[in-house]
A and B are shown apart, each in its own frame.
Chain A
């Protein structure tokens, strides 16, 4: 019988091998994700799938793409709310929208959109500011299941009380209920919002610049990366922004530790909104 410490080392070792295997087989690169949180999620996945070891899981994952898709759901984080951190959306509306409105056409990128809550929040805000009909929002994620569900724009009706409170606190001009139709247990967002959003697959770990945009919102994505991968990702974001374009990060994310820090001005430090120089 191996000691707990030994089993733990084995877990680390096997997890590293699993990530290598996933990269070679499925081209998803988790190898430079921050270890502590990834390991925690791998433990949860192992338990749910009922495998004794990561090696057993690896054996199956390599032969069963469906199981890989399920695993992806555990390895990526999908927690999000509409208008999460209302102060951030309020700052976008009051301080960034006036700049955006000077462009004849606007492109926005929500990087790491998970199930779409933030992309729809931005769409609603831009609609209220009269800009949505000349805006295209790219909403990207690495998880195809998330993208599908984001595209549906269907959420539990229970969540809308919190969404609505956030919306009002974020400076919403109407009522959030103007933008969805509620059924018995779920609510679906308006078709007009969906038309402005292009959901697609993109990885900040392996893909590169695909468009030039005026605003990027990439919140609570970088915290899951090691510093080196953060830097790569920020490089992609930087390369995608037009001159004087805006970058919004999560409430506890910063460019301070990045080699790209000098390419940005800290426009609104409290809301973590940067402007490219």
Chain B
């Protein structure tokens, strides 16, 4: 079945920033989709993730703001100490709910809300990391009919997170960072159908 993809949700922890610096440069300015990102970061200091990634790619990269409308070609990064969620009306929400698996932001929280908001129109990407946050969320995306991608464990600096996701649900694609870059570029080029990348 061909399905238009409307958004991309990305999660990761230890080692994921390195992967992103390889993946994101493959995406052109004016990329057709919005991207949302949760990285595990310390709660009590400012995050430089948006600045670091903004320098490395052509996307517009910014910290996610509460009730902000999603725009294409933009990467929204969860701020420290808040969960990032997406609403059915294509708006971001922040929450100060309890940490999940000791983390706030938590990948599961973003993925579960994105699966709910976008259903089959979502690509979920789980990168390197040192715990099993994101595995449940990726399974949710899959259940809602979305496309799931995990960073190939052998290419991950820390492989616990990708391994956990692969053990929990059947994942559509297992890709190295450079393959992931090409994959996401392709998804953005052809927002009307994923037939060709499948």
Residues of A within 8 A of B (CB): 4-5, 8, 34-37, 39-41, 77, 79, 220, 222-224, 226-227, 230, 250-254, 257
B119 and A5 within 8 A (CB): yes
CA separation between A8 and B115, bound complex, in Å? 11
Contact of B97 among A40, A251, A254 (CB under 8 A): A40
In the complex, B109 has a CB within 8 A of chain A: yes
- B82 proximity list for chain A (CB < 8 A): 223, 252
In the complex, B194 has a CB within 8 A of chain A: no
- A4 proximity list for chain B (CB < 8 A): 143-144
Q: Closest CB of chain A to B57's CB: distance in Å?
A: 24
In the complex, B145 has a CB within 8 A of chain A: yes
A253 and B66 within 8 A (CB): yes
B93 and A40 within 8 A (CB): no
Nearest residue (CB) in B for A230 is B67
- B119 proximity list for chain A (CB < 8 A): 5
B144 and A254 within 8 A (CB): no
Q: Closest CB of chain B to A112's CB: distance in Å?
A: 11
CA separation between A79 and B83, bound complex, in Å? 13
A254 and B65 within 8 A (CB): yes
In the complex, B96 has a CB within 8 A of chain A: yes
- A35 proximity list for chain B (CB < 8 A): 87-88
In the complex, B6 has a CB within 8 A of chain A: no
CA separation between A35 and B112, bound complex, in Å? 12
B81 and A223 within 8 A (CB): no
How big is the B interface, by class?
20 to 34
Q: Closest CB of chain A to B118's CB: distance in Å?
A: 12
1/0 per position for B57-73, CB-CB distance to A under 8 A? 00000000111100000
Kindly list 7 other residue pairs between chains A and B, CB separation below 8 angstroms, not including A222-B66, A223-B93, A227-B91: A35-B87, A39-B116, A77-B96, A223-B67, A223-B94, A230-B67, A250-B96
Give residues of chain B (19-69) contacting chain A, Cβ–Cβ below 8 Å: 65-68
* 20 CB < 8 A contacts A-B: A4-B144, A34-B67, A35-B88, A36-B86, A36-B93, A37-B85, A40-B97, A40-B112, A40-B113, A77-B95, A220-B96, A222-B66, A223-B82, A223-B93, A223-B95, A226-B67, A250-B96, A252-B94, A253-B66, A254-B66
In the complex, B79 has a CB within 8 A of chain A: yes
In the complex, B172 has a CB within 8 A of chain A: no
- B98 proximity list for chain A (CB < 8 A): 79
Contact of B95 among A5, A8, A37, A227 (CB under 8 A): A37
- A8 proximity list for chain B (CB < 8 A): 116, 144
A223 and B66 within 8 A (CB): yes
In the complex, B182 has a CB within 8 A of chain A: no
In the complex, B17 has a CB within 8 A of chain A: no
Q: Closest CB of chain B to A38's CB: distance in Å?
A: 10
- A227 proximity list for chain B (CB < 8 A): 67, 91
Q: Closest CB of chain A to B94's CB: distance in Å?
A: 5
Instruction: List 7 tightest A-B contacts by C-beta distance, closest first.
Output: A36-B85, A36-B113, A220-B96, A37-B95, A34-B93, A223-B66, A4-B143
**When A4-B144, A5-B144 are in contact, do A77 and B66 touch as well, CB less than 8 Å?**
no
- A77 proximity list for chain B (CB < 8 A): 95-97
- B87 proximity list for chain A (CB < 8 A): 34-36
CA separation between A251 and B91, bound complex, in Å? 19
- B66 proximity list for chain A (CB < 8 A): 222-223, 252-254
- A253 proximity list for chain B (CB < 8 A): 66
